[in-house]
Structure 1
Amino acid sequence: MSRLIIDAHLDLAMNAIEWNRDLSMSLEQIRLKEMNMKDKPDRGNGTVCLPELRKGRIGFVVATQLARVNPFNSALTGWNSPAQAWAMTQAQLAWYREMEKQGEMVQIVDSKGLDTHISLWNDTSIPDDRKPIGFLLSLEGADSLVTPDYLYEAHGYGLRALGLSHFGPGRYADGTKTAGRIHSKGLELMKIMGELNMILDVTHLTDEGFDQAMELYEGPVWASHHNARKIVPNQRQLSDEQIKRLVERDAVIGGMLDCWAMDIRFIDTVSDPWQLDIRLEMLIDHWDHICQIAGNCLHIGIGSDLDGIFGTEQSPWDMDSIADLQKFEYLLSKRGYKDEDIDHIFHGNWLRFLRNAL
């Protein structure tokens, strides 16, 4: 039987609502429906749906809400007011709720629920295709919280992890491809997060923002989808010093499969993964680097970010669907990782972290 996998970053509701993808359908059906569509860059190239998650034994995921507020004159896409962004996150929440009603998914909000769900996925008497996908709800970028106090409501409906920023300027903190500190509202938001013992996701923070977060936030922190700056030298990846600080906090870093985060040669919408020979195994170079810094493999996992506004055109060429994450078992063993190590990477490290955090 294949190993259980936890993926710590998937934008499922964004794909369902904004991309209008019925994720209960097969991947072949979704691709056929999108074959002649041109409104999104990855139409017909999706890799994620609920049947493929089950096929790959990816029984538990960190699933996002995501709605950015668009600054004046910005080229980035987003909503024109916090109220509109909040409304979009509520539409995304409604989709997760509907998936629960249909038995497709189940929300996890505490360690007891987590252990019950993992036991279900370890039960071989029940076929995997009859098991719901468990999800922990995370907010990617805090823009949609109209005021910091909105976090109380979000926590009430099960939000357990939060990243302050996304791409570009943000209302609470600036993010990827910018520089600057966490804003005063962001500092206020972190205080509420600490009160609620929420997980702070440092993904997408600026270097200054990362330093502030690590100095000021005393609750659990992780990097849900991050690779190593030593290999791909841009601000979006973690520096060696940042990795050391995360290891000291017993954080877990999720390796992501967006080609530009795996190989510095890749250029969005220009490069081809096959021509550059970008393969799944290249992510192991990033994991190896983190393991060398940590002295063990207890701080790495999967945070694929698959179908995060990209599809097969921007994923390793030897991966057709998210179920192909199972290929890492062979690839890791070929690189010298033992069975116990692979279990840690596939699910054990995330489980340890979540049991402590929840």
Structure 2
Amino acid sequence: MTLLFSPKALRSLTLPNRIVVAPMCQYSAEEGRATSWHSVHLGSLALSGAGMVTIEATAVTPDGRITPRDLGLWDDATEAALARTLGAVREVSKTAIAMQLGHAGRKASSHVPWEGGQLIPPAEGGWANFAPSALPQKEGEAAPVALDEAGLARIREAFAATARRAARLGIDGIEVHAAHGYLLHQFLSPISNQRQDAYGGALENRMRFPLEVFEAVRAAFPAERPVGIRISASDWLPEGWDVEQSIAFVTALKQRGLDWVSVSSGGISPRQQIKLGPNYQVPFAQAIKAATGVATMVAGLITEPRQAEEIIAAGQADFVAIARGMLFDPRWGWHAAAALGASVAAPPQYWRAAPHEHKELFSNAVFGTR
């Protein structure tokens, strides 16, 4: 039996397999509002055969957007737009849908990647950035504004308010974004956090604000629905965040009701030296899972079904999070099931798609004859 296609429960949510579509920024929103692109994009991914689809990093405030085209959920207009998109997706798929909540911190106010991705100054339509310390992401950029107590409270409540909106929208799970050099990661890493107050210095202090945000989200979201977190397990710099600190952070989160940790790495500095290769983040996930017992997702150059199966079978992670691979092959889950002799549910309009040698691929297929 394949373990990649075995079920796994996260609170009241039981996923039919261990494949998760990772959140992927689309830079296609209008003032934070979801557009037709999101309906088509998410609808396609919801038919991929994955057990859960995660909506891209969704900004909790306008100034928390990475770019002017980021998806947001901070007011009635952004909620109504996302409701329309989710309505269309739910109409064609029963796949679980999670949402990643984030704030870009000092990496906000940037051009979209295909326009260079560089910082947009306020004089050119950008906005002020906020961070734990007044340290820019790159040399030569304007320094962000160091958050004061009022700013911390504002952002903390914004995460909670967005979680409440997500609950109203029927989102099945929330993933708090504390990775890739964005705001919560900026608090965790000593590279970006040089505060001298209760939110900086020692590990306990650097974890304080991300833990407060997680607590606020967990309290705002229905108790029966799961809340996870994405972390960068390593800054890939000797003076930065590392696996040992990640284990301490996930242990503290577990005490606060964490349901899963999605393990990634990097993003805090352009000086990072990432050693890329297949499964390059799996050792991080394996170490965190072994030390904490928290359900673990792992991403990063996982492209082949048997590769994913081996990760789950070896107990290195509980889920694989597929991103670019899903964009390249929007039926990755189908093809993985076929390769491993498993089955997936599919809409009846697609039942005839299964090749003859995989006629049992669709577990819910029923064909009448006449």
Per chain length, whose mean CA-contact separation is higher, i.e. which structure has more relative contact order (CA < 8 Å, sep 6+)?
1
Task: Output the TM-score relative to the length of structure 2.
Answer: 0.44
Task: Output the TM-score relative to the length of structure 1.
Answer: 0.45
Larger radius of gyration: 2
